[in-house]
Structure 1
Amino acid sequence: MQGRTGIIGGSGLYEIPGIEVIDKLDIDTPWGKPSDELLLTRIGDHEVVFLPRHGSSHAIPPHKINYRANIYAMKLAAVNRIISVSAVGSLREDIRPGDFVLVDQFVDHTRGRESTFFDGPVVAHVSVADPVCPCLRSSLLAACHDADIDTHNGGNYIVMQGPQFSSRAESNLYRSWGMDVIGMTNMPEAKLAREAEICYSTVAMCTDYDCWHEDEDDVSVDSIVAVMHANVAKAHKMLQTFFTTHADHQSCTCNCNDVLRSGIFADLKAQDDQAILPIHALVESFL
């Protein structure tokens, strides 16, 4: 059976014309509650699970998001691929506010966030060399092009701690590192999706030029909100196109759903129930 598609982003993303709401899922996880209830919907022939990353009232700042609970809840909801829709600042002249970027790499510049399900006694080391599912990213790129959205193929997303924006020195430093966009939310989200063996791809929606650009105003909440409204409308169009034309997952050749086999450093069958409980949904196929 084809699994469900999860979408993590703003609370307005699910307001897509033609969407059918099936249920609200109030899920408890061993890692606590996710940011909000999960909204189970149907778009055409596809079951889609929406989760507002910051909560429905945007009351959770990026450094306080329970990323482990969010990803684990998606796993419990039978999601096997996640589309992360995220607002970002541009660190490049040619990535303009309103453009989308289908990033393929992340640099984690956050501090103190819980970033693994394998905190012991079960230990795992999974590869995040290529943290984005190539099949899902390719399908999303095609959907963006079909929706006539100015989209950049590939890019480096640096994830800052937040909730403050960058200093000018930081912004220029990140540019010198070869970073393309900057945001606050996709790490450890992408790492945890990899540990959960869920395909993951980010649609980065550019809202501003951060604070490095001498000819543009420094980033502010007001400037972001103005561009975000237009970006959400584009995201709706992109998602409609994706689920209508590009959402077939059967031909995917990625190995996102098979990374734990070589990553777990433990005899799972020798572990007691307390060790397995927090990761049961991730390792049950090995038990």
Structure 2
Amino acid sequence: MSDGGGVVGIIGGTGLTTLSGLEITGTRTRETPWGSPSSVLTDGHLDGQPVVFLSRHGNPHRIPPHQVNYRANIKALYDAGVRTVIGVNAVGGIHPDMGPACVVIPDQIIDYTWGRAGTFFEGDLEQVTHIDFTWPYDQEARNIIMQAAKVHGVPFAGFGVYGATQGPRLETAAEIRRMERDGCDLVGMTGMPEAALAAELGMRYVCLGLVVNWAAGKTEQIITMAEIEAAIDQGMSGVRRILEVSMAGLGKLKVLPQSS
């Protein structure tokens, strides 16, 4: 299709249950064949761009990562007209250059989750469908977000392998060492199956990660909520600036063909 994607979807994670700067025009509930999404959909404009915002863990923050209804979230956004999605994720840093408050736009993902409902293509199907997931994050959308970070002077890393773990517990030091051997630069609990589900519907998807702590074993200290909250306070303003500056460009991206 040649038309621009129009509405941009933002899925807020830990530290982003609401979006300041969003000119709200309304909220709506939307049911899907896979149940209810985590929160109401908030319609509005961010820097003049039509946006639909959804809080991944609910508002207030109450749904743990392994119990998020990812299928309902993605389908609700799709049905609301969203074709480009930014997933905002709080992550732990493994790579030495990705410490607390660092913004990361990863380019790859490894899935360590299990038991999550991770596909729309199951049940009474006419045919089996496989999607190409070689590049899980849309490169055009990544480029726009990275340029926005440069324009606003937000320090960021424009690469990274996101290791998605099951949660809700944090990882052991040995698990992080294994993930580092696997090539992971970041660790989080919500990157999958969200990215794959978006790909199944032909949506552009990009992760905007905020490092909120060093991963287990990367320092001698234990991980505390106080540490995480401090990193969120320090880094979330940069995330919001990137979102605001990137909106116009993301809204002009061409719609991709649907996989099904």
Find 1:119's aligned residue among 94, 115, 122: 122
Find 2:20's aligned residue among 4, 16, 19: 16
> Which residue number corresponds to residue 243 of structure 2?
239
Matches within 5 A, 1:91-130: 91-122=94-125, 123-130=128-135
Native 8 Å contact 1:126 1:259 kept in 2: no
Once the 2 structures are TM-superposed, how far is the Cα of residue 141 of structure 1 from its aligned partner?
0.7
> Which residue number corresponds to residue 210 of structure 2?
205
SS state at 2:8 partner = strand
Native 8 Å contact 1:13 1:236 kept in 2: no
What percent identity do the matched residue pairs reach? 32
> Which residue number corresponds to residue 47 of structure 1?
50
> Which residue number corresponds to residue 32 of structure 1?
35
> Which residue number corresponds to residue 185 of structure 2?
180
Give TM-score, length-normalised by structure 2: 0.92
Within 2, Cα distance between the matches of 1:108 and 1:259? 23
Once the 2 structures are TM-superposed, how far is the Cα of residue 166 of structure 1 from its aligned partner?
0.6
Give TM-score, length-normalised by structure 1: 0.84
Within 1, Cα distance between the matches of 2:235 and 2:200? 30
Within 2, Cα distance between the matches of 1:167 and 1:15? 32
Which letter maps to 1:195?
E
Which letter maps to 1:230?
Q
Show structure 1 runs of 5+ residues with no match. 261-282
2:229 is the alignment partner of 1:225 = yes
Summarize deviations over 1:45-86 as a string: whole Å, max 9, x none.
311000000001111000000000000000110001000110
Root mean square deviation, CA, Å: 1.7
Summarize deviations over 1:105-135 as a string: whole Å, max 9, x none.
1101001000000113223111111111000
Within 1, Cα distance between the matches of 2:242 and 2:36? 29
Within 1, Cα distance between the matches of 2:223 and 2:258? 38
| Structure with max Cα Rg | 1
> Which residue number corresponds to residue 258 of structure 1?
257
Runs of 4+ in 1 over 4 A off after TM superposition: none
Native 8 Å contact 2:7 2:81 kept in 1: yes
Native 8 Å contact 2:84 2:204 kept in 1: yes
Which letter maps to 1:204?
G
Once the 2 structures are TM-superposed, how far is the Cα of residue 154 of structure 1 from its aligned partner?
1.3
> Which residue number corresponds to residue 78 of structure 2?
75
User: Which is helix-richer, 1 or 2?
Assistant: 1
Aligned residues: 254
Within 2, Cα distance between the matches of 1:39 and 1:259? 24
SS state at 1:82 partner = strand
> Which residue number corresponds to residue 199 of structure 2?
194
